[in-house]
Amino acid sequence: MKLLSTSARFVLASAIAMSPLIAVSAPALACGNSYRYEIDPKTHMVVQAEEALSEGDYAYAWKMATNATGQMGKKVEGKDAPAELAALRARSLRVGSIAAVRTKGAIAGKKDTDQLASWAVGQLRVLAARETGNPYLVARLAEGLAMKAEGEAEALEILKKLAADDMMPDGQAWLLYADLQKDPKERERGVGQCKLRANDPTTCKLKGPGES
């Protein structure tokens, strides 16, 4: 389900804009007083990972994120000190954890899908704590929690607060809100808001009985 909203694209663009994309080398003599700019290879790979994530290519997003800053998926990083996570590593972990959630842990040939899905939820908690007030990360945490029945209540509470604060980041968050709601009016509201924000409003459909 690909529902990249304007706000989600803004989050991606902001992450890219704030990153140390370029390193200035010595002046290029052949160009007078101009400068030559070189893209840091690791940063470039993270940017590619973020772009792949936004396009729904989760396997490639995972690959580029791990190529950029190393393997992930076994241990939740920054649990004791979220603020100490390096910026580029945090971006890689964000890509990897969201990709794992979107594939329910079945990514990059991983066999232990439950373990990877659990890791993703734990890592998203840390990342949300690191960027307090980032509604995109909070919504992705709710998405991860909702993968399992025991996490649905917490996921709904998270989304209710985002909705009450007018901080829902995208159509995906609204659709999940609708899916988790029991109130028919709120379910209808969630679908309606999803359609307003989704690139393809036809994807804003509630799950049928037994669907996950």
Residue 55 lies in a domain: yes
Q: How high is the mean pLDDT in each 10-residue block of the chain (212 residues)?
A: 47 46 40 68 97 96 97 96 97 98 87 92 98 96 97 98 97 97 96 94 84 64
- Residue 76 sits in the same domain as residue 112: yes
The residue segments making up the domain with residue 189 are 152-205
- Residue 108 sits in the same domain as residue 171: no
Residue 6 lies in a domain: no
Q: What is the DSSP string of 118-181?
A: HHHHHHHHHHHHHTTT-HHHHHHHHHHHTTSGGGHHHHHHHHHHHHHTT---SHHHHHHHHHH-
Q: How many domains does the chain have?
A: 2
- Residue 128 sits in the same domain as residue 175: no
The pLDDT value given to residue 32:
56
This prediction's pTM: 0.81
